[in-house]
Amino acid sequence: MAGDDPKTPPSEKGSGSDADVPKDLAKEIKYIEELFTVDTAKLKQITDHFVKELEKGLSVEGGSIPMNPTWVMGFPTGHETGTFLALDMGGTNLRVCQVTLTDQQSEFDIIQSKYRIPPPLKTGTAEELFEYIADCLLQFIQTHHDDLSQIGRMPLGFTFSYPATQNYIDEGILQRWTKGFDIEGVEGKNVVPMFEAALARRGVPIRLAALINDTTGTLIASAYTDPKMKIGCIFGTGCNAAYMEDCGSIPKLAHLNLPPETPMAINCEWGAFDNEHKVLPRTPYDITIDEDSPRPGQQAFEKMIAGLYLGEIFRLTLVDLHDNHDRRVFVGQDITKLRKPYTLDTSFLSAIEEDSDENLSDIAGLFQNKLNITPNKAERILIKRLAELIGTRAARLSACGVAAICKKKGYKECHVGADGSVFNKYPHFKERGAQALREILDWGEKKDPKEEDPIEILAAEDGSGVGAALIAALTLERVQKGNLHGILHPENYV
């Protein structure tokens, strides 16, 4: 069959018309199915290992998963009030909000502006990054307030969604950059003074009251409106979770002699799960992603799940199928555009999965427009299957983390609040995650399709806006009660 000769480079194989390419890529499909499928037994094995690693992270010796104490020491009651500023530095966007928690139980008003973080800032200097953040904040304030002194009285919650050590709620010592950020001179340092210096240069009288992780914000914001919420998750550019632990189960805090039953939200930073590569079924493509990333050896779990990486896993697989494996994919086509790293984002995969047309004509259009490749029918079927496999693997592996926290805490029934672009926009992500939880936790078949699952992963409230405001409010309450554990600058709440 034409195109089967592995010695001839594909670019020299002629026209690329349908006559040249195999009509059936069953062999290739079988290969990717074997590579990307994670069966129930494997999910259970991963979950069991995950439970042990969560515990290790809380121990004095520590482990791969940081399990960072956040000094968020309790759930909201729904009666919190006040006006707060919230700044959210995610992996892709920057958002500034003003949140008012109203007198009405669990209600809030919010005004906000969103700014895209220019990609070069992710690998620039710390000063450039914090100057940009301060500029956005200033612009927001100038739009919404005539009187800057008014702003000075509003505590600010800064959602900094990277692993940070917090000896206090108002500091954040960056452990390492994640999500493709690579800015020199920040790791190992407290980012709060860098941020405050940029504000001071602009004469903005803002007081940072709390530095929070997006997962902790999600947990608290979700629990504000739904007391069954026990875990906050982000499935977006990155992937992570937070839950409420009791201080007695955090051996690494034992030296502080906090009452054992005191609650403490833990930012797991579970993206780092299995950095030792003991259980995760990594493919050659996952290995390449890791090796070519700014932090090889870090965020093993995240790199198989998060939005930043799904398109890249897909791209690497297709390039390999074209170049190797008997060279029966995109025979004779120029795949130069496909060879460019990180050229496809997760929305490209979402669009592929959404093509339900029998002829898969949307996929044809997507490949033509974005990559200048004309896939034939067999290739379009393979493309769709590959997207499904990668999306399904991400959802199923994510469920292992949720199941592990539930097992560790003994939660048989609860709600899990989830946010992030993958959770909110990726087709079937929720159903696939729910199915995996069912398999891991042995719930058996549903009798009635309308019946709630014992553990449900639901769309969260806005963690980095409302959650940040609530955390500032809860901390303010602690200051007023004189419970100053983990608060370095109580004056920022006066």
- Residue 213 or 398 with smaller CB distance to ligand GLC: 213
Give all strands of the β-sheet with 207-212 in edge-to-edge order.
108-116, 93-101, 82-89, 155-160, 207-212
Per CB under 6 A, the list member of 240, 283, 293, 392 interacting with ligand GLC is 240
Handedness of CA 350, 355, 360, 361 (dihedral sign): negative
Alpha helices in 77-213 (DSSP H): 126-144, 148-152, 191-201
Q: Is 271 in the site for ligand GLC (CB under 6 A)?
A: yes
Q: Are strands 239-246 and 263-267 parallel, antiparallel or unpaired?
A: antiparallel
Q: How far is the CB of 88 from ligand GLC (least distance, A)?
A: 10
CA nearest to 327, candidates 18, 15, 71, 21 = 21
Per CB under 6 A, the list member of 47, 98, 159, 178 interacting with ligand GLC is 178
Amino acid at 461: E
Residues within window 78-137 making contact with ligand GLC, judged by CB under 6 A: 91
Per CB under 6 A, the list member of 36, 84, 154, 179 interacting with ligand GLC is 179
Helix 26-36 and helix 307-323: axis angle, to 10°?
Answer: 140
Q: Which stretch binds ligand GLC (CB under 6 A): 210-218, 359-367, 449-457, 470-478?
A: 210-218
Q: Which residue among 64, 88, 207, 214 is the active-site one?
A: 214
x-or-dash pattern for ligand GLC, window 15-54, by CB under 6 A? Answer: ----------------------------------------
Counting DSSP H helices and E strands in the chain, the numbers are 15, 13
99: left (phi over 0), alpha (psi -120 to 50) or beta: beta
What letter would DSSP give residue 426?
A: S
Q: Which stretch binds ligand GLC (CB under 6 A): 97-105, 160-168, 398-406, 447-455?
A: 160-168
What letter would DSSP give residue 292?
A: T
Q: Is 161 in the site for ligand GLC (CB under 6 A)?
A: yes
Q: Is 417 in the site for ligand GLC (CB under 6 A)?
A: no
**DSSP per position, 8-65:** S-GGGS----GGGS-S--HHHHHHHHHHH---HHHHHHHHHHHHHHHHHHHSSS--SS
Closest residue to ligand GLC, based on beta-carbon distance? 238
Q: Which stretch binds ligand GLC (CB under 6 A): 14-22, 238-246, 358-366, 430-438?
A: 238-246
* CA-based radius of gyration for the chain: 24
User: Catalytic residue at 59?
Assistant: no
- Residue 269 or 388 with smaller CB distance to ligand GLC: 269
User: Catalytic residue at 226?
Assistant: no
Q: Is 302 in the site for ligand GLC (CB under 6 A)?
A: yes
Q: Is 174 in the site for ligand GLC (CB under 6 A)?
A: no
Beta bridge partners of 165: 173
Q: How far is the CB of 466 from ligand GLC (least distance, A)?
A: 16
Total number of residues that touch ligand GLC (CB under 6 A): 17
Beta bridge partners of 246: 263
User: Catalytic residue at 161?
Assistant: yes
Q: Determine contact, residues 25/381, Cβ cutoff 8 Å.
A: yes
Q: Which stretch binds ligand GLC (CB under 6 A): 37-45, 137-145, 208-216, 463-471?
A: 208-216
Q: Are strands 155-160 and 207-212 parallel, antiparallel or unpaired?
A: parallel
Tell me whether residue 82 is exposed, middle or buried, using C-beta atoms within 10 angstroms of its C-beta: 0 to 12, 13 to 18, 19 or more: middle
The H or E element spanning position 94 is strand 93-101
Q: Which stretch binds ligand GLC (CB under 6 A): 71-79, 138-146, 155-163, 388-396?
A: 155-163
Q: Is 234 in the site for ligand GLC (CB under 6 A)?
A: yes
Q: How far is the CB of 215 from ligand GLC (least distance, A)?
A: 5
Q: Is 274 in the site for ligand GLC (CB under 6 A)?
A: no
Our CA dihedral for 300, 306, 310, 311, rounded to 10 degrees, sits at -120
Q: Which residue among 95, 176, 207, 432 is the active-site one?
A: 176
- Residue 83 or 213 with smaller CB distance to ligand GLC: 213
- Residue 294 or 454 with smaller CB distance to ligand GLC: 294
Residue 487: HSE in the Cβ half-sphere, 13 Å Cα cutoff: 25
Alpha-carbon distance 91 to 122, whole Å?
Answer: 9
Q: How far is the CB of 236 from ligand GLC (least distance, A)?
A: 5
Q: How far is the CB of 423 from ligand GLC (least distance, A)?
A: 11
Q: Is 269 in the site for ligand GLC (CB under 6 A)?
A: yes
Interface residues toward ligand GLC, by CB under 6 A: 91, 161-163, 178-179, 213-215, 234, 236, 238-240, 269, 271, 302
- List, by residue number, the catalytic residues: 161, 176, 214
